[in-house]
Amino acid sequence: MALDRPDLRARARAEREARTQLQARRVRRTVLRRDGMRSEVAGSDGSTRWLLNFCGNDYLGLASHFQVSGALQDAAALHGVGSGGSHLVSGHHALHDALEREIADWLQLPAALLFGSGFAANLAVVQGLLGEGDACVQDRLNHASLIDAARLAGCRLRRYPHADAQGALRQLRTLPEGAAMLATDGVFSMDGDIAPLRELAIVARVQQALLYVDDAHGIGVVGPDGRGSVVEARLDVEAVPLQLVTLGKALGGCGAVLAGDADLIGHLAETARPYVYTTALPPAVAGAALTAVRIARHEHWRRERLTALVQRFRARALRLGLDLMPSQTPIQPLRCGDNATALAMSAALDAAGFWVAAIRPPTVPDGQARLRVTLSAAHGDADVDALVDALATARDACADAARRTRP
Ligand SMILES: Cc1ncc(COP(=O)(O)O)c(C=O)c1O
């Protein structure tokens, strides 16, 4: 019988065409140089321009801190570029160890394990602990890596309405057999709100489920000494046996560290495929992260500055009637609704010298496109004031344009 398989190039073309129709195409913008929060960005016509970045995750301004880049250079001079192997063969370095110890000490947790990325760490936790017959119950707005992790683990995945601990309880009750994990973002990446961790901890305890908190956007920013959402919720390692610290957001570098219960971490270090079968991060990257963690732990003024900027942004934006979401973190999304409005707002801001990317489905639910504004301790008061004014001008211009085109 002649085969008649779908042509994958034709399928990709059709999907691209569908994304074009929905104004859901995604493009990369190339950064040529950075200077604090300003980036020189290449245009599609070969031109370049400087934009003030309000959509990154460098919340504490550590991504280009001179001590952090100095630590990277010094460690690269001493130890070279690559780790040369996976952790369990020959790639595990003293700087990896030192970073794990520093984070365990910061969070006052028994153990920590370094990964190449937060995405890989999430795959490792769920796949390393759950299998067929087990259950993973997740917030509907969890990061894509957690959703994919459950799919890859082959366990049953159930999602509950956003931040709804009762919903989590209902879902866990429907799956009484097998081991269970309750997984949530600490700070939600596209909304900026914080999970109801104390209520979720009670649900997890009652249902004998392991509570896992992905605190990618909480660490360094939320809680005393920036120790994250779990400490802010006054939960210990009994309540939250594992949590994820990413190094690529407030800590300004790249990679991630799982922290928590020593037995679980030890198990994952020997068995989790995304840990075992990959090259260890360059030791110099770990050295840079070690310096960044020390700065994040001790320079409280960075968090105080960030808090002041968040309040300044919200007060001014609300005064001008901007449609903010209820977030107290540096993630301050502005609702736009449809993709076209989000793109038009983003383009108007770009023309005014601000870089605020339009976030559209499937990253956020259908009809909830937004501008995900993010603030950093490295922004100035005047930067924030100018951004809010530009947002209000862009909103008014988009509303005028919509009125003009209405039949
Ligand atoms: C909530 C959350 N978890 C995990 C990740 C993945 O982390 P990484 O960028 O280190 O792979 C991200 C980053 O986009 C995130 O926002």
* Average pLDDT for 321-333: 96
**Does residue 175 share a domain with residue 73?**
yes
Domain's final residue, options 298, 329, 351: 298
Q: Per the omega criterion (within 30 degrees of 0), is the bond before 362 cis?
A: yes
> pLDDT tens digits for 373-390?
999 999 999 999 999 999
- Which tops the pLDDT comparison, 91 or 406? 91
- Distance between CA atoms of 180 and 137, rounded to whole angstroms? 8
Atom of ligand 1 nearest to the CA of 187: 1
The predicted pLDDT at position 325 comes to: 95
* Average pLDDT for 330-354: 95
Task: Please give the model's pTM, rounded to 2 decimal places.
Answer: 0.96
* Average pLDDT for 141-165: 97
The predicted pLDDT at position 43 comes to: 87
The predicted pLDDT at position 29 comes to: 92
* Average pLDDT for 123-136: 98
The predicted pLDDT at position 2 comes to: 86
- Is 189 a catalytic site residue? yes
Residue 406 clears pLDDT 80, i.e. is over it:
no
- Is 162 a catalytic site residue? no
| Ligand 1, CB cutoff 6 Å, lining residues | 117-119, 122, 143, 145, 185, 189, 214, 216-217, 246, 248, 256
Residue 2 CA, ligand 1 centroid: distance in Å? 44
> pLDDT tens digits for 224-276?
999 999 999 999 999 999 999 999 999 999 999 999 999 999 999 999 999 99
Residue 10 clears pLDDT 90, i.e. is over it:
yes
Residue 244 CA, ligand 1 centroid: distance in Å? 9
> 189, 244, 374: which to mutate for ligand 1, most atoms within 8 A of CB?
189
User: Would you say residue 12 lies in a domain?
Assistant: no
Q: Residues 65, 249, 376, 379: which is the catalytic one?
A: 249
Half-sphere exposure of 214 (CA within 13 A, CB side): 30
Which residues constitute the domain of residue 97? Answer: 66-298
**Does residue 279 share a domain with residue 346?**
no
User: Would you say residue 109 lies in a domain?
Assistant: yes
pLDDT band for position 131 (cuts 50, 70, 90): very high
- Is 249 a catalytic site residue? yes
Contact 195, 185 (CB under 8 A): yes
- Determine if residue 184 is labeled as part of a ligand binding site: no
> pLDDT tens digits for 47-80?
999 999 999 999 999 999 999 999 999 999 999 9
Tokens at residue 126, please?
Answer: 């769920």
Domain's final residue, options 298, 324, 346: 298
Q: Could you tell me which of 300, 127, 138 has the C-alpha nearest to residue 223?
A: 300
Q: Could you tell me which of 228, 298, 280 has the C-alpha nearest to residue 259?
A: 228
Q: Could you tell me which of 336, 343, 394 has the C-alpha nearest to residue 368?
A: 336
The predicted pLDDT at position 331 comes to: 98
Residue 296 clears pLDDT 80, i.e. is over it:
yes
- Distance between CA atoms of 23 and 338, rounded to whole angstroms? 9
**Does residue 32 share a domain with residue 77?**
no
The predicted pLDDT at position 252 comes to: 98
> pLDDT tens digits for 77-103?
999 999 999 999 999 999 999 999 999
Residue 159's CATH number: 3.40.640.10
- Distance between CA atoms of 149 and 130, rounded to whole angstroms? 10
The predicted pLDDT at position 351 comes to: 95
The predicted pLDDT at position 404 comes to: 86
The predicted pLDDT at position 1 comes to: 76
Contact 247, 288 (CB under 8 A): no
User: Would you say residue 6 lies in a domain?
Assistant: no
**Does residue 374 share a domain with residue 348?**
yes
Instruction: Indicate the average pLDDT of the chain.
Output: 96
- Determine if residue 119 is labeled as part of a ligand binding site: yes
Q: Per the omega criterion (within 30 degrees of 0), is the bond before 283 cis?
A: no
Residue 202 clears pLDDT 80, i.e. is over it:
yes
